[in-house]
Structure 1
């Protein structure tokens, strides 16, 4: 099942990804590998509010960010 979250701030994109993936993995967010191992989280925060679509894989989940919406698919 895909999870979709709408982000309102740059920094919340990273938090939403970590929280959603940890929920899907049924683990504490601190148990996940650093997001920076998959993508530059600073750049991600800046780009996520732009008119662009971003795709990457994190912990085996396909992450898509489009129009400030974060979708996490297994």
Structure 2
């Protein structure tokens, strides 16, 4: 299964998302479609930085499923492995 969890670092999750997807695609981050084509990065930043209860945001970007939580943890999973898991779960 192709899944990466990125530990919180000093950079913001928005940057981590783009860097991880670029790494998986073997391209420079500037070669990816803009993240703002999928969601508003400023809105994501505001949600994650807002005080309050825990929050998890899930979305698709460049055929990857991305999950970001309010602690700054980022998980990137490819769609093929997610589809395989969904089929496997349905067969049980």
TM-score, normalised to structure 2's length? 0.71
Question: Cα–Cα, structure 1 residues 6 and 48, in superposed 2: closer, same or farther, change >3 Å?
Answer: farther
Distance 1:33 1:13 in 2: 17
Contact 1:56–1:63 (CA under 8 A) maintained in structure 2: yes
The answer to which structure has the higher helix fraction is 2
Which contiguous aligned blocks of 4+ residues in structure 1 show a shift greater than 6 angstroms? none
Give the match for residue 68 of structure 1: 72
Contact 1:14–1:41 (CA under 8 A) maintained in structure 2: yes
Count how many residue pairs are aligned between Structure 1 and Structure 2. Answer: 73
SS at match of 2:58: strand
Which ranges in structure 2 are unaligned for 5 or more consecutive residues? Answer: 79-92
- The reply on whether 1:20 has 2:20 as its aligned counterpart is yes
TM-score, normalised to structure 1's length? 0.87
SS at match of 2:23: helix
Which ranges in structure 1 are unaligned for 5 or more consecutive residues? Answer: none
Aligned CA RMSD, in angstroms, stands at 1.6
Higher RCO (Cα < 8 Å, 6 or more apart): 1
